[in-house]
Amino acid sequence: MALFEPIPGETPIDDVSGLKIRGITTRSELSEFEARNIAKVALKYLAARPSRRTAKFDFDWCLKLHREMFGEVWDWAGKLRTHELSIGVKFYLIQDQLAGLLEDLESWTGFGMDLVEQSTQLHHRAVQIHPFQNGNGRWARMLGNIWLKRNAAPIIVWPEQTIENVSEIRNRYIAAIKSADQLDYDELVALHREFQEGHPTPS
């Protein structure tokens, strides 16, 4: 049984043995510590345009990004999962599929795909692969935003606290992800554009 009761669409946290911070007993406490860690990463990569050297978008850097986001909270941060989850590819396919995604990413510009569509597909496929024990959605959204920032495009200002809790926005987000699983990206692209920096604030 999960210590932190999962909400619909969320990967349950069944094992807290990797938790580095003692005394966390509630979901809100866990979220607060994780958010502090993630804020440092947002400052590093999104405050100014990152270079190809600092945001390499290769396999090792993708693992490093997850470790930077969650490494102060979980000791498995940045390590590929070694077991099956209710979502994601078989664990033994993760490395090949993530490497394949990164190869595709570099080719999308040549196919005339605009940057928001590139970010959307990067975000979705990263979630679909689900490389890590937890934190995959937040990592995938950060991945997409760093790609936009590296290419001098406005980032997506996700309402993270709302998405990570039961809400209408989360329902729309999960529905859009599920549509993208069926190769229909329209809803997810529209959601990205809705929350893109500089877009009028959603009502």
Q: What is the pLDDT of residue 5?
A: 64
CA 122, 172, 29, 46 torsion: positive or negative?
Answer: positive
pLDDT digits (tens, 9 = 90+) for 149-203: 999 999 999 999 889 888 999 999 999 999 999 999 999 999 999 999 987 654 4
Q: What is the pLDDT of residue 191?
A: 97
DSSP 8-state secondary structure symbol assigned to residue 78? T
Helix, strand or coil for residue 74? strand
The Cα–Cα gap between 124 and 72 comes to: 26
In a domain, 73, yes or no: yes
Q: What is the pLDDT of residue 110?
A: 78
Range of the domain at 76: 27-194
> CA dist 95 to 108, 140, 196, Å?
20, 15, 30
Structural domains counted in the chain: 1
The Cα–Cα gap between 106 and 96 comes to: 16
In a domain, 177, yes or no: yes
In a domain, 81, yes or no: yes
In a domain, 19, yes or no: no
In a domain, 63, yes or no: yes
Q: What is the pLDDT of residue 189?
A: 98
Q: What is the pLDDT of residue 200?
A: 65
Of 5-9, 102-106, 140-144, 156-160, the one with minimum mean pLDDT is 5-9
The Cα–Cα gap between 8 and 62 comes to: 26
Mean pLDDT over 108-134 rounds to 94
DSSP 8-state secondary structure symbol assigned to residue 167? S
- Beta bridge mates, 57: none
Residue 90's CATH number: 1.10.3290.10
- Per DSSP, helices labelled H in the chain are 27-46, 59-70, 94-108, 115-129, 136-150, 160-163, 168-181, 186-194
Q: What is the pLDDT of residue 6?
A: 64
In a domain, 20, yes or no: no
In a domain, 152, yes or no: yes
pLDDT digits (tens, 9 = 90+) for 31-80: 899 999 999 999 999 999 999 999 999 999 999 999 999 999 999 999 99
Q: What is the pLDDT of residue 111?
A: 83
Give φ, ψ of 13 to 5 degrees: -100, 95
CB neighbour class for 156 (10 Å; exposed up to 12, middle 13-18, buried from 19): buried
In a domain, 92, yes or no: yes
Query: Residue 2 pLDDT > 60, yes or no?
Result: no
